[in-house]
Amino acid sequence: MSDPLRPTGPRIIAIANQKGGVGKTTTTINLGAALARLDCKVLIVDLDPQGNASTGLGIETEDREYTTYELLLDDVGLSDVIKPTETTGLHIVPATVDLSSADVELVSNEKRSFLLHDALRQFAMDALEYDYVLIDCPPSLNLLTVNAMVAAHSVLVPLQSEFFALEGLSQLMLTIREVRQTANPTLRIEGVVLTMYDIRNNLSQQVEADARDNLGELVFKTVIPRNVRLSEAPSFAKSVLDYDPESKGARAYVALAEELLTNHGRISVEEGAAT
């Protein structure tokens, strides 16, 4: 059971965008790996029934005996569902296709929006000593995504650097506002990170300009480039930092992690610039 009086635990960030193919899972995996490389202890919660974050970090389907489904609906403890990855300091609660039925099963539960919130605030979380929990949300604004937002301190939004990128963002912002008004008054927007950015492409530059004009300081300074190594890494069940640490994609995610830590006052601007 959750305890509202427990000490402050990890910072919980939901990584969400109802549009698919925007780099959401890629960002979850590689931001998690970059934070771990910067000496943070990180837990990824795979809340997408496709289970791509789990596969991308090398968790075989047959090794997913307990998953986010059991965490949410069967009251299984955190220590039973967490799996280590090959990246030191990075762990994951995996997902399987079973999670696709959770939306229907949650409807009849009176605490349906708070199940993940309570699961991530078990006493066991204190002993695990995570610095960050990153929740990989499904590409829709369903009850699973609402659970993530109710559980989270903030929402990080990957935004693809392509035409129509800003369309649909208003619906996501509206959902965040509704969750803030009804269930999680302290929820904030962590920021918007531009993904699949091609500096040679005028369209990418235009999307960046529009995003910064419309969203201002909400847009991270770091942009994630379109990079073949980022695309290849999941097929080897690795983060890009383990697959090719010198690639542009790996360096970009380290820079994003440093910017995030700087924003949270965990490292200074000078330390971020020096790494």
CB 150 within 8 A of CB 179: yes
- The pLDDT score that the predictor gives to residue 3 is 44
pLDDT in tens, 235-268: 999 999 999 999 999 999 999 999 999 999 887 6
Superfamily covering domain 11-264: P-loop containing nucleotide triphosphate hydrolases (3.40.50.300)
Residue 254 — φ and ψ, nearest 5°?
Answer: -65, -40
CB 26 within 8 A of CB 226: no
Task: Give the percent of the chain with pLDDT over 90.
Answer: 72
Residue 219 — φ and ψ, nearest 5°?
Answer: -85, 125
Full DSSP string of 35-55: HHHTT--EEEEE--TT-HHHH
Q: How far apart are CA 250 and CA 109, in angstroms?
A: 41
- Which stretch, 52-56, 159-163, 202-206, 270-274, has highest mean pLDDT? 52-56
pLDDT in tens, 123-156: 888 889 999 999 999 998 999 999 999 999 999 9
- Which pair of structure tokens corresponds to residue 115? 């199940």
Domain ranges of the chain: 11-264
Which amino acid does the sequence have at 107?
V
Residues in the chain: 275
